[in-house]
Structure 1
Amino acid sequence: MLPATVPNARIFTYNWRAEFSKDAVELTLRDHAEAFLLDFRALREAKREPLRRPVVFIASCFGGLVVIKALTIAASAAGKEYSFLRYATVGVAFLGTPFKGTPAERLAQWLVAYEGFMGEQASTTLIKDLKKSTGVLNDLVSQFMRETHQPGYYLPLHCFYEMQSTNLSKKILPECLANLAPKKEFLVNQESACLHGWGDTPLDCGHVMMNKFAPGTENFRRVASIIRMLVSESNETLKQRNVRQKRHFIVPFGRNMDFVGRKPILGQLLERVPPSAMEGDCQRTAIEGLGGVGKTQIALEIAFRIGDALPDCSVFWVPAVDATSFENAYRAIGQQLSVPGIDEEKADVKALVKAALSRQSTGSWLLIIDNADDTNLLFGNNALADYLPFSRQGSILFTTRNHELGVSLVESESYIIPVEEMSRDEALKLLQQKLKAGQMSDTRSNEALLEFLADLPLAIRQASAYMAKKQISTTQYLELCNSSDEDMIELLSKDFEDRHRYKSIQNPIAKTWLISFRHISDHDPLAADYLRFMCFLAGKDIPQSLLPPAGRLKTVEAIGTLKAYAFISERKESDTYDIHRLVQISMLSWLAQKGERGEWATNVLQRLDDIYPSPEHENREEWIRYLPHTQHALQLWKRTDDEKATPGLLSKVGKSFHNLGKYEEAEQMYRQALQLYQKVLGKEHPSTLGSMNNLALVLDSQGKYEEAEQMHRQALQLREKVLGKEHPSTLGSMNNLALVLDSQGKYEEAEQMHRQALQLYQKVLGKEHPSTLRSKNNLAACLRAKTKG
């Protein structure tokens, strides 16, 4: 019958599995729609037909939902390989499609329960999609209706609905359950089967007969009439569709053909960013992350993908680096849109363009605001944020380093998409883009270099540009990076050619971060001080308690600023943070250039000396936590040649290592402390003599007895001179000298020394003092060793 109705048409049927059987595959509505799109494209290619040959769909029941889901996917940026179908489709006739669900879902669930009791399985996924309560249908139909009302797009639709109810219970339920179900009902009533704003026609039959016709019947004549109309008006439909508004594409860069990876983020953006993605609003989305993490390149790729997938959507790009670049970009948009008065000398360019983009007649657009980092620029005097347009056909995408600013721009955390370092596979592909195979022959060096560069896209591109230019391998570049911090900073500061970044913003990663450093310094001085402080510490597991105190609220706000710029990240443990190693080194370089590195090294060491406890067993957890940061700060201090650094901190770190049994590290710390005490306080100062004693003790622990003996004799001699023979510290030196004599088997002299120490301890401290008792024990041990010897 249908070939006679449309004799020049090529007619196909498409069958898909929607039955509720134990063998049914658990597929969602989207799964069926994607399979349909794949099969449709394959069919056209197999028949060597033009992809855009006009097509009319006749869709029955759930098949109508598959069709509108397929058309919705074809209209999205994610489904650009099927975009041809959106323009090929010139009409759809829906036969009993449940746009608002169906009461049959209850009966189907009874069937599922029955099958479950019988030990078999049945598919429930499609039935779940039919539920009104899930919102799946509402979202799907709303999105489809938005697509059919896009400017310049016209798609005629017609709906048919059933006039007879169906006793479904007898058709799908076992006899034992059929009596429990309602007798008769409309499976898809008129309200559910019709789309607002489009024609609808009743058919005098029940649901299961909506797609079954006898020749010459009234039902067939009604359906055939609509199909003939859709076919006969197809040329006019295409003509109306081609009368579309002019599309504009103003992007300052060409497409980055070296762009790799980022599929999850692109997927999220392509779902959110198209103007049709949110009904009734001008959605705002922000990409946020550390400078150099690739936000601009992601936004650039989105611009081209939206441009490819949505021919009716204009794309505008506005840099928010400063007020001038923002206004110049707005002026270019105004000129493209032929906004009246845009070129007048005193024109309020930003206000004119805002008004133009806010008008519905402008059509759909995506506005990308890149480098939205400066809070004062966007929300201060003459706030640029006031000039952001609003249109229900528009969408705004921001890139920002500042999380707090991003929240202010999009008004909800859920609209912010964080960008982190690349995965290692993505980073490796990016590194390979500019290099020859011979330059990457050492797999270990490749991995080590990416680890060193923290998988940051800008750092990788900068490094590969240098290697390509100088024709060196990853192994050689890595050696340069590891040679010294100064060499690494120089490498990270090298300019390189990049056609996909602004000429006005210097490319190198180190200089890129300076922009953020300056923003923080201007707007949150305490946060800037904390960043300076942290760059002297070990990069991982930094306790907040190490930072200079500044009041709870101010501290929270300063830490929030650093987290907002992604310079630090909070660990799962409360009040503990990590800082990026490359950020640390760049910050140290900045301090050195300003002549502030030595001053800040001293400030950090003085703070650490104040907070670092005298290392004992009772406070072991605390000083163990502080030790790596203090050790790192001391290593950086050595390069400053600053004599103001506290030798007391060196002594406490030395004792920490001594307690841990790390005698070589303890010896190194004690020698530095002694040298500094002698230089600053003199050779006879009590603190100098205490440091000398500590060094002798750790030498003894390593079996370096001769040097330890010499050091103890010198300490004893000076303490007798400075403090007197009966001072407790003098007696301590006497006891320690006796012990090292014991260790060398010099028992006679050791015994004499122990007896002298015991006698003085008894006189000065009393017979029951712990030091007296230890001295007595040491004498007894010496006598026992002497007897055995």
Structure 2
Amino acid sequence: MTTTDARRGLRQIAPASDAPDNATIDVIAIHGLGTESPRTWEFKKKGGGGVVNWLSDRDMLPAALPEARIFTYDWNANYFEDAPVQTLLGHADTLLRLIVAEGRGSQTRPIIFIASCFGGLLLAEAINRAAQEGSAYRHILLSTVGVVFLATPFRGSDAAKQAQWQVVVGGIMGEQASKRLIDALNKSDRELGKLTQSFAELARRDSIQLPLHCFYETKQTEMLRRLLSPSWATRFSAVLGGKTHKILVNESSACLDTFERKGLDATHSGMNKFQGPECPNFTLVKDAIRQFAGSSSAVLGRRTNCKPIIFTGRVEAAVGRHWIVPFGRNKDFVGRETILTDLLARISPGGDEHDCQRTAIEGLGGVGKTQIALEAAFRFGDAHSDCSVFWVPAVDATAFENAYRAIGQQLNVPGIDEEKADVKALIKAALSRQSTGSWLLIIDNADDTNLLFGNTALANCLPFSRKGSILFTTRNHELGVRLVESESHILPVEEMDRDEALKLLRKNLKGDQMSDTRSNEALLEFLANLPLAIRQASAYMAKKQISTAQYLQLCKSSDEDVIELLSRDFEDRHRYETIQNPVATTWLISFQHISDHDPLAADYLRFMCFLAGKDIPQSLLPPAGRLKAVEAIGTLKAYAFISQRKESDTYDIHRLVQISMLSWLAQKGEHKGWSAKVLRRLDNMFPFPEHENREEWIRYLPHTQHALQLWNGTDDEKATPDLLFKVGESFHNLGKYKEAEQMHRQALQLKEKVLGKEHPSTLASMNNLALAFDSQGRYEEAEQMHRQALQLKEKVLGKENPETLSSITNLANALQIQGKYEEAEQIHR
């Protein structure tokens, strides 16, 4: 028996086979054509740096899923001379037999499969065979809680292009590609299509609901490298104008409709090789696997409790409960009992015998709306065992339609899988029928007005049934009102109270990480008790094993550090995109919506980011027509980016929102331009500080000071120095002489740079700085500055100019207060 033969079969690679069997889940990885394990899963480091096997290396998948036994299934992927397609699919039976032989028997320990390329077709055939009536392997199907497909060519052949399989197989196997295999695949393409269709229908079946995640390649493969050395391949490719680069298995081939899909930044051969724990591609795949593991209990529980469904060809005959929710229950969910109690009382179908219930929960991105809706779904399901629950993401039209299609497939809606089916109309009609029974429809992330009421008009696709109830989550108050048609049907979600926030922070941290009570409180204050920010912070602290005091220190070190922390990705199986979880990204999505639909509101938000966060008067904002200004402010309030104070036309904005926006402006190259706009507006609005207008300039002072602190060196030769002077005088009037000195010094430095040292305006600033020294009792520094100002004024303005005479008086006073009376007398004379 050869080494290769000895490797074939089912082999445990992690943890070591002699380790104690504490596993609660199994992972089985299946390679594709022309390869074997462990080569399939190994990334070779350059320069002889060794290899990384993401399935078995301790810091890779075993670290992410320590509760799992990890196996590889090796099959003869090179023997295709006799009945190649039949041989390929025949390995499905072997796989099923070996899983049973591993000692599983009729056990229901969850299984997650990872299938690479053609290994996915082998697995699909195995699942189909396990589902057959009377199959001895049905328990394997019922134990399967998730499948990751890595570039599996479900639709690899195009009937109009018989050479397509030549491209796919040749690109995978190179010189080893068998012509007989390619011919057989061409002839059997229709059979493989049936295999794929049967598997997809099985996975969607109400009694199975098999979670799938399809990954596809986004980088082209250099086909010549399979046949030539890298150098020669590069040369020929250049001659042929890059025509030898191909996507071997494109998105439409690698993905099954209605199931999760993601692109990996990899060529076909790199789809199953990851260079280390921080590799973004590995993170995406790992997150999918962890999501399967986390929801495994729910998946198995649904299959155990699923009632049979009787089909007579009409949707009205469907009985039993349906459950389509893309997440498992969030075991880290805490608090929110008041809003959950109110919400559950509102969303019960049939609560109003004359209407279909509509309710919306609204709030700032990251405040926890989706998690509240998710917890409500599970509590609702527990309380209403005869009521179906459907979850539809409204992030875009495709996601919405895919979710509707999944509903149709569960309800066995006639025509739902037809190529030209109007999926949205079919589901609207199906759920609107009273005979469909009671249901709760959750429309998550209903934020985009154009998506719901514009060209796509998804709001027109919502069903109506007196046995139905629709729950929306939205960041947009105005859109929420439009969807539910009454303010009374909207539940606002605000930040957590302190006790809830503390419980959430404590969920992922050890006792010694939270031993400093003051730091815990201060950190939650800084994060404004915002759930997503707390989850992101605790994930970082848990990963880096630092305390709340250390994390708080990072937050306070600089805005750059804060935005870096806010932008860090973290794992959360209860959100759609783990890679896009950061707080900063969540708010940016809202800002994009605002920019698209209300440009003035977007400009107001940019402007406010340069002001102090509290007590912002509307009078400081850029001028606009009254109606447009009211609508823009309404938009920002609707998205919860700003809140109105009791005083009219005065607003607050969250500091974390400001920091995120400022970072985004910097990335777009707009920070300097907006800084200049804000300073010019403030200069126009800020009066010369006098006792009579004291209330006005005191109100503007903190905003002007904040904008000047963010000032990044705009060369406005008038607005900025003038504003610095007025702010300096304001501080002087308030007795804050140190702050006055800082403003006058900045004004002097800017004028020297822009206008020159001898410009009259520069000399005026020199005099102001000297007076600031006087006020602080720094008389020697004041004397030197007054002498310098006097000499330059005599030179530039002349000895009899009033400004020169003023400097003479100031110098004399500085001498007099130091006791230099004779010199002071001479200058006074």
TM range (shorter): 0.5 to 0.7
C-alpha deviation, 1:751, in angstroms = 2.5
Partner of 1:566: 640
Partner of 1:522: 596
* 1:343-396 Cα distance to aligned partner (Å, 9 max, x none): 111000000000000000011111000000000000001200000000011110
Q: Distance in 2 between matches of 1:682 and 1:490?
A: 39
Answer yes or no: is 1:285 the counterpart of 2:359. yes
C-alpha deviation, 1:552, in angstroms = 1.1
Q: Distance in 1 between matches of 2:378 and 2:409?
A: 21
Q: Secondary structure at the match of 1:277?
A: coil
2:571–2:578 Cα contact (<8 Å) kept: no
2:450–2:456 Cα contact (<8 Å) kept: no
* 1:547-579 Cα distance to aligned partner (Å, 9 max, x none): 110111111111111111100000000100000
C-alpha deviation, 1:479, in angstroms = 1.3
AA in 2 matched with 1:642: T
Answer yes or no: is 1:641 the counterpart of 2:716. no
Q: Distance in 2 between matches of 1:503 and 1:555?
A: 35
Partner of 1:345: 419
Q: Secondary structure at the match of 1:382?
A: coil
1:677–1:687 Cα contact (<8 Å) kept: yes
Answer yes or no: is 1:752 the counterpart of 2:814. no
Q: Distance in 2 between matches of 1:298 and 1:680?
A: 56
* 1:222-276 Cα distance to aligned partner (Å, 9 max, x none): xxxxxxxxxxxxxxxxxxxxx9931111100001111110111111101111113
1:275–1:283 Cα contact (<8 Å) kept: yes
The more displaced of 345-354 and 271-280 is 271-280
Between Structure 1 and Structure 2, the one with more helix by share is 1
Partner of 1:246: 320
Q: Distance in 2 between matches of 1:668 and 1:388?
A: 60
* 1:460-517 Cα distance to aligned partner (Å, 9 max, x none): 1111111111111111111111121111111111111111000277111111111011
* 1:596-619 Cα distance to aligned partner (Å, 9 max, x none): 111111111111111111111111
1:440–1:446 Cα contact (<8 Å) kept: yes
C-alpha deviation, 1:641, in angstroms = 3.4
C-alpha deviation, 1:692, in angstroms = 0.7
AA in 1 matched with 2:495: E
Q: Secondary structure at the match of 1:318?
A: strand
Partner of 1:455: 529
1:30-429 alignment to 2 at 5 Å? 245-429=319-503
Q: Secondary structure at the match of 2:580?
A: coil
Of residues 761, 766, 773 in structure 2, which corresponds to 1:699? 773
Q: Distance in 2 between matches of 1:519 and 1:279?
A: 36
* 1:17-40 Cα distance to aligned partner (Å, 9 max, x none): xxxxxxxxxxxxxxxxxxxxxxxx
Greater Cα radius of gyration, structure 1 or 2: 1
Of residues 767, 786, 792 in structure 2, which corresponds to 1:712? 786
The more displaced of 719-728 and 258-267 is 719-728
Partner of 1:681: 755
Q: Secondary structure at the match of 2:501?
A: helix
Q: Secondary structure at the match of 1:275?
A: coil
Runs of 4+ in 1 over 4 A off after TM superposition: none
Q: Distance in 2 between matches of 1:421 and 1:505?
A: 24
* 1:709-730 Cα distance to aligned partner (Å, 9 max, x none): 1111221222222222222222
Paired-residue identity, %: 83
Answer yes or no: is 1:654 the counterpart of 2:728. yes
Q: Distance in 1 between matches of 2:508 and 2:323?
A: 29
C-alpha deviation, 1:734, in angstroms = 1.6
2:748–2:766 Cα contact (<8 Å) kept: yes
AA in 2 matched with 1:729: E
C-alpha deviation, 1:731, in angstroms = 1.8
C-alpha deviation, 1:750, in angstroms = 2.1
Q: Which runs of 5+ in 2 are unaligned?
A: 1-316
AA in 2 matched with 1:337: L
AA in 1 matched with 2:595: S
Partner of 2:703: 629
Q: Distance in 1 between matches of 2:451 and 2:583?
A: 23
Of residues 676, 681, 699 in structure 2, which corresponds to 1:602? 676
Of residues 421, 432, 444 in structure 1, which corresponds to 2:518? 444
2:570–2:578 Cα contact (<8 Å) kept: no
AA in 1 matched with 2:746: Q
1:726-741 alignment to 2 at 5 Å? 726-741=800-815
1:245–1:312 Cα contact (<8 Å) kept: no
Q: Distance in 2 between matches of 1:444 and 1:275?
A: 46
Q: Secondary structure at the match of 1:595?
A: coil
* 1:514-538 Cα distance to aligned partner (Å, 9 max, x none): 1011111111111111111111111
Partner of 1:743: 817
TM-score by length of 2: 0.61
* 1:39-63 Cα distance to aligned partner (Å, 9 max, x none): xxxxxxxxxxxxxxxxxxxxxxxxx
2:413–2:430 Cα contact (<8 Å) kept: yes
Q: Secondary structure at the match of 2:726?
A: helix
1:244–1:312 Cα contact (<8 Å) kept: no
Q: Secondary structure at the match of 1:317?
A: strand
Q: Which runs of 5+ in 1 are unaligned?
A: 1-242, 756-789
Answer yes or no: is 1:533 the counterpart of 2:578. no
1:483-632 alignment to 2 at 5 Å? 483-503=557-577, 506-632=580-706
Q: Secondary structure at the match of 2:392?
A: strand
AA in 1 matched with 2:524: L
1:272–1:278 Cα contact (<8 Å) kept: no
C-alpha deviation, 1:753, in angstroms = 2.5
Q: Distance in 1 between matches of 2:661 and 2:549?
A: 26
Q: Distance in 1 between matches of 2:558 and 2:659?
A: 11
* 1:748-775 Cα distance to aligned partner (Å, 9 max, x none): 22233333xxxxxxxxxxxxxxxxxxxx
AA in 2 matched with 1:346: K
Partner of 1:53: none
Q: Distance in 2 between matches of 1:679 and 1:244?
A: 80
Q: Distance in 1 between matches of 2:579 and 2:428?
A: 26
* 1:623-663 Cα distance to aligned partner (Å, 9 max, x none): 100111111111111xx233337111111111111110001
Q: Distance in 2 between matches of 1:541 and 1:335?
A: 53
Q: Distance in 1 between matches of 2:318 and 2:516?
A: 55
Q: Secondary structure at the match of 1:646?
A: helix
Partner of 1:433: 507
Q: Secondary structure at the match of 1:276?
A: coil
Q: Distance in 1 between matches of 2:779 and 2:703?
A: 32
Q: Secondary structure at the match of 1:675?
A: helix
Q: Distance in 2 between matches of 1:454 and 1:315?
A: 33
Of residues 459, 464, 471 in structure 1, which corresponds to 2:545? 471
Q: Distance in 1 between matches of 2:417 and 2:441?
A: 21
